[in-house]
Amino acid sequence: MNAKDRVVISDAAWAWEGLRRNRAYRKAWARHHESRPHVCDARASLRYMRLERPYLEAETFGLITFADPELSASEVPVFWRPDLFRRTLSVSLSAEANDNLNGFSLASLKCCPTVLDTVDGERHIRLGGHDFWIQMVTQDITQLEDDASIEVNLTGSSDLPQRVSSLEQLFLLHLSDAGHLPPVKRPPNRDKLLEGLLAWDVYDGHRSGKNTLKDVAIALFGEARVIHEWSHNRSLKDRAVRARDRGRAFVEGGYFDLLRRASF
């Protein structure tokens, strides 16, 4: 990533960018990846996975099951725990097609949902995974059909504004022509987060070995400036330290807070 680029992705995807850099998570993935769930329905209309057992260690990181940290959220089925990702919608599914033109169905959303069934009888559905992220949960394990109806349940006041916002996004997706949401009018400013992740990538170097604070500064501000100012510009060093520490804090657990107040 380049800190100068304007990157607009969903906060749930930002959170995955933090977790996939977490060394403890990567070690846990290495222990469990042989038993990870595989996509077992390759229909073009959806990706379907079924868990044969719970993944309690994955849950400590905020996930329902493990996902490959080498891949981005748009490439791998990442599912956040609904109690953590507070925008998660509780829905009811019916195998009967919804004759209401304003009703939701998998087909009406015009995208490729990812569906995950757990051993405790819950079905999780994820839409998007990059520039938007809508996650739903239901107790209805009905046969997966494209015209199955989806009814959103907004009971209870807990996290209601976040869930209403997700419902609004779901409706926009339903109205879209190609399964894509319109551009976010005022995307959250994640420039500092991007800078922090870049700084941590350089400093931690989980792919190429650890680097120095000076290497961080070069990545952030350019080699010419660092060569010219490093020996006397204390503010340059302080900015590199703050960026590195910001990235480390996010990777080591700060992503939890982002999920709780996530926007699209």
Count: domains in the chain: 2
- Enclosing domain of residue 209: 191-260
What average pLDDT does this structure show over 58-80?
94
Residue 186 lies in a domain: no
Mean pLDDT of all residues belonging to the chain: 86
Same domain, residue pair 213 and 242? yes
Does 160 lie in the same domain as 226?
no
pLDDT at residue number 111: 82
- pTM equals 0.88
Q: What integer pLDDT is reported at residue 4 of this predicted model?
A: 46
191-241 per-position pLDDT tens digit: 999 999 999 999 998 766 778 999 999 999 999 999 999 999 999 999 999
Question: In angstroms, rounded to a whole number, what is the distance separating the alpha carbons of residues 148 and 73?
Answer: 26
Q: Are residues 21 and 120 in the same domain?
A: yes
* Residue where one domain finishes, among candidates 148, 175, 202: 175
Instruction: Kindly state whether residue 185 falls inside one of the protein's structural domains.
Output: no
Q: In the prediction, which pLDDT does 185 show?
A: 56
Domain boundary (121, 142, 175) is at 175
What is the distance between the alpha carbons of residues 117 and 137, in angstroms, rounded to a whole number?
A: 10
In the chain, pLDDT over 90 holds for what percent of residues? 53
Cβ atoms of 115 and 124 closer than 8 Å:
yes
Instruction: Note whether 229 and 163 are same-domain residues.
Output: no
Tell me: do 35 and 85 sit in the same domain: yes
Contact 89, 134 (CB under 8 A): yes
